[in-house]
Amino acid sequence: MQRYEGRRVLITGAGSGIGRATVVRLLREGADVVAADVSESGLKETTALATEHAGRLTTVVVDIADEASVREAVGGAIADLGGLDVLVNAAGILRSAHTHDTTLEFWNQIIAVNLTGTFLVTREALPALLVTGKGVVVNFSSTSASFAHPYMAAYAATKGGIQSFTHAIAAEYAKQGLRAVCVAPGSINSGMTRDPGLPEDTDWSLYAKLRPALLGEGFADPETGFVGPEAVAGVIAMLASEDGAFITGTEIRIDGGTHM
């Protein structure tokens, strides 16, 4: 299936997890991709997984919380690609703490990367996306935006903000052909979910309901309750392709029924 042949895609958070899986998926479907991440070593690992598509993949190191870094990276990506059809804002961080122990520095760091970073990258990419008349922005919310995830108040707040931001730009630019959608992953195996930094005195009974309904062969691991990031990459591939042409201003929950 070559839904992305001739399409130009920028993916942040491409050095690991869902971002990396999305790079590989869209390359396989024919896209020209710029993979962006704060981790140069992570980008090298992503490149190593996509050697058969090396001619259609370039990488750029970017700190999405830094305005100057974003301007340089996004501008360079658009120049390299000769335009932009799809932006996937997969970059983000997950940190956990008791809310009463959360410092302002801790709070601001998560806001700066997840929410402000998504805004900065989107802002810089919008002019190029609008030129196409069919631009697509895929943002990353989380199941934590709509369902209780203890010790993750700051993270959840950013993801709720990203959902609202996505709805706003979907309405603002619909007449110019832009689509903006969110994915809301849950129970996905990635670097951030493997070590979310939960407090030592975590009350695990609060997580009793946070397991997917779809367990076993072909679904989530019965022991961990997690599934691979490719599950999300496949949904992103649909949403940003012509198969998702009538989807905008909404979020798609991908959690195996954890929050039914």
Integer Cα distance of 86 and 80 in angstroms: 14
Instruction: Give the DSSP letter of residue 93.
Output: -
* AA identity, residue 34: V
Contact by Cβ (8 Å): 218, 43: no
Q: What is the pLDDT along the chain (260 residues), one digit of tens a residue?
A: 799 999 999 999 999 999 999 999 999 999 999 999 999 999 999 999 999 998 999 999 999 999 999 999 999 999 999 999 999 999 999 999 999 999 999 999 999 999 999 999 999 999 999 999 999 999 999 999 999 899 999 999 999 999 999 999 999 999 999 999 999 999 898 767 667 888 999 998 888 777 888 999 888 888 888 899 999 999 999 999 999 999 999 999 999 998 88
- Looking from the CA of 156 toward its CB, the CA atoms found within 13 Å total 15
Considering just the CA atoms, what is the radius of gyration of the chain in Å?
18
Q: Give the distance from CA 119 to its chain's centroid.
A: 13
* AA identity, residue 22: T
**Active site positions, annotated:** 155
CATH fold of the domain at 8-254: Rossmann fold (3.40.50)
Q: Enumerate the domain spans of the chain.
A: 8-254
Angle at 78 between CA 73 and CA 81, to 5 degrees: 120
Distances (CA, A) of 218 to 153, 212, 255, 256: 32, 13, 14, 11
